[in-house]
Chains A and B, each alone.
Chain A
Amino acid sequence: MTDIFPLLLLLPLLGCLFILFAKKNDNNSFHVVLFTLLSNLAVIVRLLTQINRDNNDLQSFHIAYSWLESKGIELVMDANLFSLLVLLGIYVAFIIAVVGLTPQQRKNKSQMLLGLYFVWNVTGLLCANDMVSFYIFFAGMLIPLFLLIGLYGNIKKNSTLYLFFAFNYAGILCLLTAMLFVYKYHQGNVELQDIALIKMPAGAAVVVWTSVCMAFISRIPIWPFHYWISSINSGLRSSLVYVMTNMLPLTGLYGFLRFWQITIPKGILPFVPVVEIFGIMTMLFIALIGLSHKDFLQKLFSYNTVYYLLFLLTTIMLPEAYIINIAYSLITFLIVNSSLTVLDLWAENACEENNCDYRGILAYMPRLAVIFAFFVLVAVGLPLSAMFWNNFVLISAFFRTSFTQGLLMMIAICIISTALLYELFIMRDATNKNPVIEIEDISDTKVAFLMAVIVFLFVSFFNPLWFAF
């Protein structure tokens, strides 16, 4: 059953090697990335088909590698239904992002290499089942992201780039602290689900769990940690890098999900309400900022933040039973996010090429407009994908826990939905006549590809795992 599971981790590495020796200024590296992503997607789907869904247990695929016997470190890779589902979303999102690259960007070897390396790290993170391997992949993804943001982020201020690095690096060191403390009290590597069971003094437990929280929160744009991510988003004009940047909070969210699988550790129980309050305040704050921004990608960033925080608060406050709902919701969320990024960048490119106004651009690109509208409607949570039903379940459960917080959350969602819809209508507004009327719409291939994504999402509304079961 686990025969093909190692391929998940091997294929991206092999892909990286191929790209390393690929020709410069050629599409080879793009093809390698696409092939690797598609192959791994096939592996994920195959693994999903092997999971017995009737059994409520999250059956998993398991491999172990004895890395450092003297220190008791065995790396354990383990994929369960949840991680496979999230991986599915991630891979589809990456495929969309890669397809969305411009011909010039596709020839960029470094972007492809670093992108695939990032994918490898994300894959590893989602499959990691022990503290050390989790840490390695968690930290590893900083390097490609930092380089890509520096290369393609159009960041004007030197301090912004460094702050991005410093925030993330501090997060990594926090996780290292937690890992070393756990190591101290357990005398060896420990599986993630067992961390909460390790006996340690109260003070040490506080240090461990606070470090864990800080590590993951550093990745999630929760106030006041939102600054670094919002500051780097504005200049990104590569779909791949944008998707990667927006994937970073997912790693923080996943960290919370894995570390708090059983229950919130007692050590930090008193701080949980603080996180909740900060989370909801950030949701409202970011939603309002999203409304005030004029750039669609900025709005999309705000949207991402609001939803990531929704998932985070759901993780913290709801029982484990809702984990699958989060996964189903996340798949759609990731795909929609990636698709909207790509579509917006296409529209922006069309504006640049034709030297016309962004406002009303969709009126001249009807095919893009329809697809764009679909994804915006999915994004705001209308019944077009699995996200609708699963968000309904999650929010409903949230209301059960706390009505006020649920209400504030919905207000934030309302505001950010207004922001997205408002921008959609602005982009479709043909009253502002562009000087160029003839704008080339997206190609048939792209339409076909995006239609396939739409079908995938729409069918998931009826059965989220239609492709696997």
Chain B
Amino acid sequence: MLESIIYLSPLIVLLSSIFILMFSEHNEEEQYRCFKFSKIMMITAFVFTVIFYNKPLIAEVTSGNQYTLLFECLLYGGSLALLYLSRKWFASMGMSGYTFCGGIFVALLFGSLLIRSSNLLLSVVCCVFMMMGNYALLKGITIKKEFNSDRVYLFAMVFCILLLAMALLVLYQYTDSFDYTQIREVLSANTRNIWLFAAVAAMLTVLMFMLGLAPLHFWFTETLGGTVLPVFAYFIIVPICACWGGFIRFNTEAILPFSENLYLFYKTIALISITLGALGACSVQNVRKILAYGTVYHWGIVLLVMQSFSLNAVNTGVIYILVYLLAMYGICACLFGLKIKGEYLFMLGEFEGAAYKRPYISAMMTIFIFSLLGIPPFLGFFGVFSALSYLAEHDSFYQFGYIMLMLIVLSYAYVQIIKNLYFEKSKENFDRADSGIYTAVLINALLMIVIMLKPQYLLQDVYKMIESLFL
């Protein structure tokens, strides 16, 4: 019993943090303490998570292994970085950070549960709570109301909850259990059952919605394009780690027998995401939207690579996700470092001449963007190399060519950012960036350099961690 409670310690820490933040006094003077408290609690939870990574949080419905550890590390790492970067933002805006910190804790709590979940009901609950957390963030932290993103999200969330309920009902009808293993067995026996397929599809649709894959990307790009920077960074880093973790696990542990049915679905979704991501990025002038569409493109590649959910496929996909996340952390850090008269930047035109005023941040942002394009010697090269290498291995030549074509299209959007950073004359005075931003960027850069010099950390060690999922 005591053992079980100890294993639950990360959850307890996170849950208690949420409650403390909910009931504490929300005033500006407490800002600093709020972030400090969140940081301490998060580190504590993270330490417990790492220590008890292979122990079940809740017996029967969760299980941990190196794979879950990997995604949890990403989740915590991203959250900590976000917390570190956002503190100044809230201070400069004079806004309360309690909702934000609470939202991150909710995402961490249900995200880590989703990653570890081996039970459909738990996964559904996690998804619902994560969506609610997201909504709370969107609703609670906004400056401009011109986008109505929260309302769109609410509408979509209700629709998703309905889908999840339907999925639960149908699957329970057939399996009498929510356990992934049980579901897998039932699905193996009923691969051509349309109701089961519909239920699985409903669950997948919700997960893909949360990931922002096309054609369910509307909320993702719209929301990210209009929201404040910390929330943007949150959406682009935190829930995504949890969702990918849960999505991969759900596919490999629960619905693998349906892979044949879903093959074309995944492929088409991936190709649509790649197309719409690349084209979308080119069609907008909002940098955050560009990055959001870029994310859709990259998730398209990940899905295209992972469609068979074999060990190698998942490994390649995860490598791509890792590389993407590292670059995105960097870009977000840079975005936190660029502001004019206290205002953080949205549109391309606002970035004009940033390189003359903030050369180091601009240089790093450029490096991270080139990394996203997969140009060596930056880390992104490994992502592109792994993904394309995998496709070539499996004779997916058309997909290989299509990715390249769309990468060239996408490059236009990224080049626009660089062009504005470097090739336009500076009209505005950029504010001084906090030293913390430089530290964050530097740490990110060092991490990339280390991985570039010793890529086995990324390619070999990750493979070993992913392997645990298939044991």
Contact = CB atoms under 8 A, between A and B. Distances in A.
Given A110-B359, A177-B400, A143 B392 contact: no
A11 interface: no
Given A140-B376, A151-B423, A180 B389 contact: yes
A269 B321 CA distance: 41
A170 B406 CA distance: 11
Interface in A74-95: none
A423 to B, nearest CB: 30
A220 B470 CA distance: 48
A142 B459 contact: no
A177 B389 contact: no
Interface string B388-407: 11001100010010001001
Nearest to A181: B392
B215 interface: no
Given A166-B412, A170-B408, A176-B384, A142 B419 contact: no
Contact of B422 (A67, A142, A151, A173): A151
A70 B460 contact: yes
Interface stretch (A44-52, A157-165, A356-364): A157-165
Interface string A182-226: 011000000000000000000000010000000000000000000
Given A173-B404, A180-B392, A71 B422 contact: no
B98 interface: no
A69 B388 contact: no
B455 A165 contact: no
A351 interface: no
Contacts of B377: 136, 140
A147 B389 CA distance: 29
A136 B393 CA distance: 21
B418 to A, nearest CB: 8
B122 interface: no
A69 B456 contact: yes
B370 A173 contact: no
Contacts of A71: 459
Contacts, number: 79
A259 to B, nearest CB: 18
> Which of the listed residues B376, B408, B455, B456 has the most CB atoms from chain A within 10 Å of its own CB?
B376
A146 B423 CA distance: 11
A139 interface: yes
Contacts of A70: 456, 459-460, 463
Given A136-B377, A162-B412, A166-B411, A147 B459 contact: no
B408 A166 contact: yes
Interface string B361-377: 00000100010010111
A18 interface: no
B392 A184 contact: yes
A183 B392 contact: yes
A135 B374 CA distance: 12
A135 B456 contact: no
Interface string B449-471: 00000011001100100000000
Nearest to A24: B359
A150 interface: yes
B422 A150 contact: yes
Contacts of A136: 376-377, 381
Contact of B376 (A68, A135, A181, A207): A135
Chain A interface, DSSP helix/strand/loop, else mixed = helix
A139 B375 CA distance: 6
A147 B422 contact: yes
Contacts of B41: none
B456 A180 contact: no
B411 to A, nearest CB: 6
Contacts of A177: 388, 392, 400, 404
Given A110-B359, A173-B407, A67 B376 contact: no
Nearest to B455: A68
A169 interface: yes
Tier of interface size on chain A: 20 to 34
Contacts of A170: 408
B316 to A, nearest CB: 12
A343 interface: no
A140 B378 CA distance: 9
A101 B155 CA distance: 61
B456 A142 contact: no
Tier of interface size on chain B: 20 to 34
Contacts of A180: 385, 388-389, 392, 400
Contact of A150 (B388, B408, B412, B423): B423
Contact of B415 (A68, A69, A110, A162): A162
Nearest to A152: B423
Contact of A68 (B384, B408, B456): B456
Interface in B260-291: none
Nearest to B458: A68
A172 interface: yes
Contacts of A181: 392
B419 A158 contact: yes
A230 B111 CA distance: 53
A147 B422 CA distance: 8
A161 B418 CA distance: 11
Contacts of A68: 455-456, 459-460
Contacts of A142: 375
Nearest to B407: A173
B91 to A, nearest CB: 30
Contacts of A146: 418
Contacts of B463: 70
> Which of the listed residues A143, A161, A170, A181 has the most CB atoms from chain B within 10 Å of its own CB?
A143
Given A69-B456, A143-B375, A184 B393 contact: yes
A56 B7 CA distance: 71
B274 to A, nearest CB: 14
Contact of A172 (B375, B389, B419, B422): B375
Nearest to A143: B370
B58 to A, nearest CB: 36
Contacts of A158: 419
B419 A139 contact: no
B376 to A, nearest CB: 4
Nearest to A182: B392
Given A69-B456, A71-B459, A161-B423, A169 B388 contact: no
Contacts of B375: 139-140, 142-143, 169, 172
B438 to A, nearest CB: 13
Nearest to B366: A147
Contacts of B400: 177, 180
Contacts of A135: 376
A177 B459 CA distance: 20
A67 B451 CA distance: 11
> Which of the listed residues A67, A110, A147 has the most CB atoms from chain B within 10 Å of its own CB?
A147
A139 B392 contact: no
Contacts of B359: 110
Nearest to B356: A110
Nearest to B355: A110
A158 B352 CA distance: 14
A17 to B, nearest CB: 12
B256 to A, nearest CB: 26
A166 B455 CA distance: 28
Contact of A165 (B392, B393, B415): B415
A177 B388 CA distance: 8
Interface of A: 67-71, 110, 135-136, 139-140, 142-143, 146-147, 150-151, 158, 161-162, 165-166, 169-170, 172-173, 176-177, 180-181, 183-184, 207
Q: Which 9 A-B pairs have the closest CB atoms?
A: A136-B376, A150-B423, A180-B392, A173-B404, A70-B460, A184-B392, A139-B376, A68-B455, A180-B389
13 contacts: A70-B456, A70-B459, A135-B376, A139-B375, A147-B418, A147-B422, A150-B423, A162-B415, A165-B411, A169-B375, A180-B400, A184-B392, A184-B393
Given A69-B456, A176-B388, 11 more contacts: A69-B460, A70-B459, A110-B355, A147-B366, A151-B422, A162-B415, A166-B412, A169-B407, A177-B400, A181-B392, A184-B389
